[in-house]
Structure 1
Amino acid sequence: MIQVMSDYGYLRKRYDMEMQFLEVRSPVDGALLGKVPALTKEEVDIRMQKAKRAFIKWSHTSLYERLSILYQTAELLEQNRVELAELLLHEVGKSKKSAESEVIRTAALIRHTADTAKIIYKAPMNGDNLGGYKKGKVALMERLPLGLVLAISPFHYPVNLVASKIAPALAMGNTVVLKPASIGCLSGLYLVKMFQKAGVPEEVLQTVTGKGNEAGDYAVTHPLVDFIHFTGSTCVGQAIAKKVSLVPAIMELSGKSATIIFEDADLDVAAKYIVGEAFSYSGQHCSAAKCILVMELVHDKLISKIAEYMKLLVIGNPLEVNADVVPLINKKSADFAWAMIQDSLQKGAKLITGGERQGNLIQPTLIDQVTADMSLVCIEVFGPVLPIITVHSKEEAVSIINGWKDGFQAALFTSDINRAILMAEELEVGAVGINGKTERGSEYLPFLGMKSSGISVGKMRYSLEAMSKVKSTVVNLTIE
């Protein structure tokens, strides 16, 4: 069992209070994995003040020094990938393969972040680039840090979506206070230790643990915070936005990711991608295929192929098998997913396969004859359920997707690349995959949604730019 103490103990003594901890239990077998402090407002203040005081010194370290630390962190992650993957397996119920993949991807993300920071950190601009100016004027464009970044991460990628916030913030010279989700916090804290072991001073990278509606709510309104990077539900993101004033932010929020299947699609390829993306980690990620819109002419064939590929899914306890479909993160999530399934069936949808539940483990479920107004379609569900809507035209498919309040990602399967590109332009979503998964792809690419699926753009260059400000120094040269 892990017990994270840090230096919180003396604060409890100072305020004459008993140390309070939150238990971290495995969603797989209920085992007690560790305890983390449930911080008071006074303790959050201390964390914030430490990070703020450390800003001046850290921001004046050289870019080379900061990026060297990031490269070293990536090395440490790869060296410790087996141990961290084991923690991910127990703490959030990922399969061994998925857990190791997250760690390896995270190391790559940190390296890419450091590589990109070198490119955008400083750049000259000659005066004669624009009309009306001569060669004697040169502007030196430099990106400066904002100050203290508050990073708030979710449970489903407790390593990758922590690193995507911490790495760009540190690279640009900011200090960071991390508030990890209560579920998955041990994995996030493990990553923090890797950053610190690589050379990040402890005061530069602080952590706040506790319940979101207590420590988290207080942290987002803290006057020392200069930037917020949040990944989580739209309702929480909206609540944060209402509480803060003039604090810039990146918010990666809820979203439906739809897949559209045209008559000329390669149905075998489409079905394989759909099943892999819809049911991996039991659909507990925002880019999972959440809804299929299929043209009537190929509806029956697609359903048949999806059902066949679903038979290949490995279902069960990730401690025992390398499972695709695992127990959901907690009973609340399982109850919600199950309620959405039952609601759709009561309203006339047809169960094709699945529809069974053992505790928090829901069998991969395929539901046909779903209509666009059903809650299963309109609301994001973190669970192994895939609804099918029959459509009769491209226009109908676009209308359904653009009618949702959020617009995260989409995928199109067709052999007509012209139609695909033109349709992609019509869809009000952050990213469109053509003949592939509903995912953005490489860590180099932007991570965003439209409408209520997010504010600003995350990952790589975009996070680096968001967590910094531009300063230009104009030099007037004397030309003989």
Structure 2
Amino acid sequence: MKPLTKGLFINGEWIKKEAVYPLYSPYSGELLAHISRADPDDAEQAIAGADRAFAKMKALPAYERSRILARVARIIQDRKEELAKVLAREAGKPIRTARAELERTLVTYQFSAEEAKRIGGETIPMDAAPGGEGRLGMTWREPLGVVVAITPFNFPFNLVAHKLGPAFAAGNTVVLKPAEQTPLSALLIAEIFTEAGLPKGALQVVTGYGTELSDALLTDVRVKKISFTGSVQVGKLIKAKAGLKKVTLELGSNSGLIVEPDAPVDKIIPRCVEGAFAFAGQVCISLQRIYVHESIYREFTELFIRQTKKLNIGDPLDETTDLSSMIHPGETDRIEAWVNEAVQAGATIGCGGSRKGKLYPPTVLLNVTKEMKVSCHEVFAPVVSIVSYKELDEAIEMINDSVYGLNAGIYTSNIDNALYAARNIQAGGVMINDIPTFRVDHMPYGGVKESGYGREGIKYAVQEMTELKLITIKNMS
């Protein structure tokens, strides 16, 4: 297939740049496209266009914003197989997993369409305070203006939807900067929104390198909100540059799971394996640390390793593939070095641990200590550690002994212990009787500590992308 040449999407027009970069498939190495490389001037034009389009978006009635988002969901449904193949090629996501992401994506836009019609306020009892007599108080929410959305490679359709959907539901405009490795999906979404009737200029897409565009995107006074999903290091840089702009940061994690002795081990093993290795572990809530009570540790570990060995690794377009190559060879080099370092420090390999060219197999590590990178950092790779514990408090302490706090999980039949753990685990979400990788797209989602700032999930993202305004009316009669 001849490589495409893809342009920027600015003010409703496709603009091809002389400066481009090559986009290769992570698995096959095939040259997929030449991607236009935006510069600060392009970013300025995109922001200016989004700023001009804001007046029209703000005036658009809620039912029309809802209709546009619903149309987007229907178009995605009609084109799902085509979009899934693009995702498999540019991100190396197995085709079955890619289809599942597209299903979630259209649901995210459906939720956004519904939420567009629910944005309201409340009445305030002004006479509850002395001096408030004879006054009516009420609130409503207003859109902010230009939102800069910066998205990662691992869910290039659905994480884009989590930014565009709420932003447009609320009446904002968006400048989207997708990850360098997954621009094709973002550009396809621009086509889909155009077909769905989004006003010209409301969505701008600038492709290229974040290091070259960050100052232009983050410091412009016309930008009112920055929504970023990515690394902790970049998140801290964004927060430092954002000034008084609103910011939502979805950052890293090393999600942990507690397995209590009353958990049905044989029933939960397939789910735990899925949580550890889906999309080669390149998920911010991928199951990375499993703490298993000592009384069932051996049984759990043996069954987990046996199930892991059943996974198929290979071509993402093969229907039988469970996980494929990582996003970049440098990431494969990194995790290989981390695992080797852990083994040299005393960890043992239960299975995997030996790369096969571009592919890194699902790997289970035992005898891991908290100082090892595979435990205390975010692996973002198909590597999981299993550690035993004696008492629930010890397991909770190990979960909390981290700079991260996004999702955590616990399996137990004891509701008192489940709620005790939920109260004491330091995380944005605690999943009882499920893995921390669980997420549905309307729930509040976000972390504490270095896992981020703010919340996503459609209703909650709309709140983050609007300003609350108070109005009072004094009775003059």
TM over 0.5: yes
Quote the Cα distance in structure 2 between the aligned partners of 1:426 and 1:264.
Answer: 20
Bigger CA drift: 227-236 or 35-44?
35-44
Q: Output the CA distance in 1 between the equivalents of 2:17 and 2:169.
A: 38
Tell whether the 8 Å contact from 1:290 to 1:381 is kept in structure 2 after alignment: yes
Q: CA deviation at 1:170?
A: 1.2
In 1, are the aligned partners of 2:7 and 2:17 still within 8 Å (CA)?
no
Task: Measure how far apart 1:136 and its partner are.
Answer: 6.2
Aligned to 2:437: 439
Distance 1:97 1:277 in 2: 15
Shift of 1:244: 2.0
In structure 2, what is the Cα distance between the partners aligned to 1:134 and 1:147?
32
Secondary structure of 2:295's partner? Answer: helix
- 2-side partners of 1:50 and 1:126: how far apart? 37
CA contact (8 A) 1:126 1:135 kept: no
Match of 2:407 in 1: 409
CA distance in 1, matches of 2:73, 2:63: 15
Other-structure match for 1:113: 112
- Counterpart-to-counterpart distance in 2, 1:131 and 1:46: 49
Q: Distance in 2 between matches of 1:365 and 1:229?
A: 33
User: Relative to 1, partners in 2 of residues 1:18 and 1:303: Cα closer, same or farther, differing over 3 Å?
Assistant: closer
Give how far 1:162 is off: 0.5
Which residue type is aligned with residue 143 of structure 2? P
Letter paired with 2:96: K
The one-character-per-residue Cα deviations of 1:231-277 (angstroms, maximum 9, x if unpaired) are: 00101101111222111111000011101111111111232211011
Aligned to 2:96: 97
Task: Find 1:469's aligned residue among 448, 464, 467.
Answer: 467
Distance verdict in 2 for CA 1:422–1:130, change over 3 Å: farther
What does residue 243 of structure 1 align with?
241
Structure 2 SS opposite 1:23: strand
Give, as a single letter, the amino acid of the residue that structure 2 aligns with 1:178: L
Q: 1:18 to 1:473 in 2, by over 3 A?
A: closer
Q: Among residues 297, 320, 332, which one is paired with 1:334 in the alignment?
A: 332
Letter of the 1:2 counterpart: L
- Corresponding residue for 1:450? 448
Are 2:7 and 1:5 aligned? yes
Counterpart-to-counterpart distance in 1, 2:17 and 2:196:
33
Q: 1:416 to 1:410 in 2, by over 3 A?
A: same
Supply the distance in 2 between the matched residues of 1:404 and 1:44 (Cα, whole angstroms): 37
Output one character per residue of 1:401-456: Cα deviation in whole Å (capped at 9) or x when no partner. 21211111111011111101111110111111111121353211111111010001
Structure 1 unaligned spans of 5+: none
User: Can you list the C-alpha shifts for 1:200-242, whole angstroms capped at 9, x where unaligned?
Assistant: 1231110111111112443222332110000001011011112
The alpha-carbon deviation at position 478 of structure 1 amounts to 7.7
Partner of 2:70: 71
Question: Take 2:318 and 2:193, find their aligned partners in 1: how far apart are those partners?
Answer: 31
Identity %: 33
AA in 2 matched with 1:273: R
Pairing 1:375–2:377 present: no
After TM superposition, the structure 1 stretch with the greater mean CA deviation from structure 2, 319-328 or 162-171, is: 319-328
Q: 1:300 to 1:146 in 2, by over 3 A?
A: same
Q: State whether residues 443 and 459 of structure 1, in contact with CA within 8 Å, keep that contact through their aligned partners in structure 2.
A: yes
Matches within 5 A, 1:305-316: 305-316=303-314
2:345 pairs with 1:343: no
Instruction: Please say if 1:48 is aligned against 2:50.
Output: no
Give distance in 2, aligned partners of 1:178 and 1:396. 43
Pick from 222, 243, 249 the counterpart of residue 224 of structure 1: 222
8 A contact 1:26–1:32 mirrored in 2: yes
In the TM superposition, what is the alpha-carbon distance from 1:465 to its structure 2 partner? 0.5
Tell which deviates more after alignment, 127-136 or 159-168. 127-136
Name the residue aligned to 2:25: 26
Runs of 4+ in 1 over 3 A off after TM superposition: 126-140, 475-479
SS at match of 2:114: helix
Q: Compute the TM-score of the two structures, normalised by the length of structure 2.
A: 0.94
1:419 aligned residue? 417
Q: Distance in 1 between matches of 2:114 and 2:335?
A: 41
* 1:168 corresponds to: 166
1:294 has 2:296 as partner: no
Distance 1:170 1:206 in 2: 13
Match of 1:317 in 2: 315
Residues 1:456 and 1:387: Cα distance change in structure 2 (over 3 Å): same
Counterparts of 2:296 and 2:381, CA distance in 1: 26
Q: How does 1:86-235 map to 2 (within 5 A)?
A: 86-119=85-118, 121-125=119-123, 127=125, 130=128, 137-235=135-233
Shift of 1:36: 1.9
Alignment root-mean-square deviation, CA? 2.1
Deviation at 1:129, TM superposition (A): 9.0
- C-alpha contact 1:372 1:378 (8 A) present in aligned 2: yes
Alpha-carbon separation, structure 2, partners of 1:244 and 1:6: 24
Gapped runs of 5+ residues in structure 2?
A: none
Conserved? CA contact 1:440–1:447, under 8 Å: no
One-letter identity of the residue aligned with 1:439:
T
Between the aligned partners of 1:3 and 1:171, the Cα distance in structure 2 is 32
Question: Distance between the aligned counterparts of 2:226 and 2:201, measured in 1?
Answer: 18
Q: What is the DSSP-based 3-state SS (H/G/I as helix, E as strand, rest coil) of the residue aligned with 2:296?
A: helix
1:5 maps to a residue whose letter is G
Determine the C-alpha separation between the residues in 2 that align with 1:459 and 1:217: 28
Identify if the C-alpha distance between structure 1 residues 197 and 216 changes in structure 2 by more than 3 Å, giving closer, same or farther.
farther
Instruction: State which drifts further: 81-90 or 389-398.
Output: 389-398
CA contact (8 A) 2:126 2:137 kept: no
Secondary structure in 1 aligned to 2:468?
strand
Is the 2:9–2:204 Cα contact (8 Å) retained in structure 1?
Answer: no
Which among 257, 260, 275 is matched to residue 259 of structure 1?
257
SS in 2 for 1:358: coil
Paired amino acid for 1:168: P
Summarize the Cα distance change of 1:308–1:176 in structure 2 as closer, same or farther, 3 Å threshold.
same
Q: What is the distance in 2 between the residues matched to 1:199 and 1:135?
A: 47
- Deviation for aligned residue 1:359: 1.9
For 1:7 and 1:293, the matched residues in 2 are separated by 47
> Residue 450 and residue 134 in structure 1: after superposition, are their counterparts in 2 closer, same or farther (change >3 A)?
closer
- CA distance in 1 between counterparts of 2:293 and 2:215 reads 45
